[in-house]
Structure 1
Amino acid sequence: MNKWSTRGLIFSALFAGVMIAMSYIKFALPFSAVPITLQTLAVMLAGSILGARYGTLAVLIVIGLAAAGFPVLGGRGGLAVLAGPTGGYIFSWPFAAFLIGLLAQRMKQNNLTFVKLAFVNFIFGALLVYPGGVSWLAYSTGMDSWGKALTAGMWPFLPGDTVKALLCASVVSAVWKVYPIERILDSSHGVWLDEEKARVIR
């Protein structure tokens, strides 16, 4: 776990590509500068499938490419985008991916796996992102009340975030059955114990 694995780095790059692709699926809201996108779903998936280290790296790759001017955020890029109304959400993503991944790595698979994954992804992949996102949205657009900021940057997105968390939990539960997270975290020592349906790192 102390060394970076080639497998993990490859998956980080692949998930960065997934996140970029999902950023193009977006719907603008007439009353908000924040669009509805699938980027948060990509962050949830990255943390849950890749773990804290590689999930965070995948998100940082996308942010780094955006900072360098590449159009990786729904066809846009550059420092102006990162400093724009959605910047608070974007810079919250690495923390979300890290915490989701950290808990995913410690999560034991059982009959409650889906419920636990859904809860973790909603709390850390959605709710955790809002304080920074809404605060920066209010500041960057000059909103004069928290009510307006929450209406433009949080309330309309909660139902969709709930669906994303449930979808992520469903996908990850299925993935873990055939490709447990240890295979990414430690390609040389991760083992899958089929008889006990447990995951062990030696």
Structure 2
Amino acid sequence: MNATFAGNLWSGLASNRLYQVLLVLGGTILLAVSAKVQVPFWPVPMTMQTFVVLMIGATLGARLAGATMLAYLVEGAAGLPVFAGGVGFGYIAGPTGGYLIGFVLGATLVGWLADRGFGRSILTTLLAFLAGEIAIFVLGTGWLATLIGLDKALRGGLVPFLPGEAIKVALACAVLPIAWRLVRR
């Protein structure tokens, strides 16, 4: 049995390079779509991206999740309209930049945990996703604090997001272990 969800779902293809490239590209498409599902906030919008970022980590494992996030950043830096509210390297350097970089760390961390069996039960899914959320929000809020100050960063870039993030983590805790049970059948 493969360690990752995607590896188990399509076990015969797991080591195929074309399959891996398609997973990465598919992940960047899902991430771009999730960026457009948003509630306007200042200084950064609330989107479904963190859910997709962490699910990519949980299903693809560290290596492919990290590659997906890096590919996403390259696409956006190159000018493709994949981000929530802008394009180019300037957007990455703006208020959302820390969160975008946090996506790389968060997805890779959740993927690393998934490679070690996390995500197959409610408890391990919760632990993995909390670790990923912390990575994203520490980098995101930290970067935002350098631009607008710590107090404003916490009030605008962390606190309003906590209820939504709790719902996303609860959804993952409900969905991922069930998906694993279905794959094992």
Q: Does 2:123 correspond to 1:119?
A: no
Q: Quick one: which amino acid aligns to residue 100 of structure 2?
A: I
Q: 1:96-107, aligned counterparts within 5 Å? A: 96-107=106-117
* Matched residue SS, 1:50: helix
**Structure 2 segments unaligned to the other structure (5+ residues):** 3-14
1:171 alignment counterpart: 175
Structure 2 distance, partners of 1:167, 1:8, is: 26
Q: Which one of 88, 110, 120 corresponds to residue 78 of structure 1?
A: 88
2:10 alignment counterpart: none
Taking structure 1 as the reference length, what is the TM-score of the superposition? 0.77
Q: 1:7-26, aligned counterparts within 5 Å? A: 7-26=19-38
**Structure 1 segments unaligned to the other structure (5+ residues):** 180-191, 195-202
Structure 2 distance, partners of 1:149, 1:18, is: 27
Q: 1:43-192, aligned counterparts within 5 Å? A: 43-74=53-84, 76-107=86-117, 113-124=121-132, 126-141=133-148, 143=149, 146-179=150-183
Residues 59, 93 of structure 1: 8 Å contact kept: yes
Structure 2 distance, partners of 1:83, 1:169, is: 32
Residues 129, 169 of structure 2: 8 Å contact kept: yes
Q: What does the per-residue CA deviation read over 1:63-111, in whole Å, with 9 as the maximum and x for residues that have no partner?
A: 110010111012521011101111011011111111101111111686x
1:41 alignment counterpart: 51
Structure 1 window deviating more from structure 2 (159-168 vs 61-70): it is 159-168
Change (3 A) 1:178 1:72: same
Structure 2 distance, partners of 1:135, 1:108, is: 27
What's the CA shift for 1:151? 0.7
Structure 2 distance, partners of 1:76, 1:167, is: 28
2:6 alignment counterpart: none
Identity across the alignment (%): 28
Q: Quick one: which amino acid aligns to residue 164 of structure 2?
A: G
Residues 65, 107 of structure 2: 8 Å contact kept: yes
Structure 2 distance, partners of 1:5, 1:176, is: 24
Residues 58, 110 of structure 2: 8 Å contact kept: yes
Q: What does the per-residue CA deviation read over 1:146-168, in whole Å, with 9 as the maximum and x for residues that have no partner?
A: 22221111111111111111212
Q: Compare the two structures and name the one with the higher helix fraction.
A: 2
Highest CA radius of gyration, 1 or 2?
Answer: 1
Residues 23, 73 of structure 1: 8 Å contact kept: yes
Q: What does the per-residue CA deviation read over 1:132-191, in whole Å, with 9 as the maximum and x for residues that have no partner?
A: 2112112223x3xx2222111111111111111121232222332344xxxxxxxxxxxx
Change (3 A) 1:75 1:35: closer
Structure 2 distance, partners of 1:15, 1:173, is: 20
Q: Quick one: which amino acid aligns to residue 143 of structure 2?
A: W
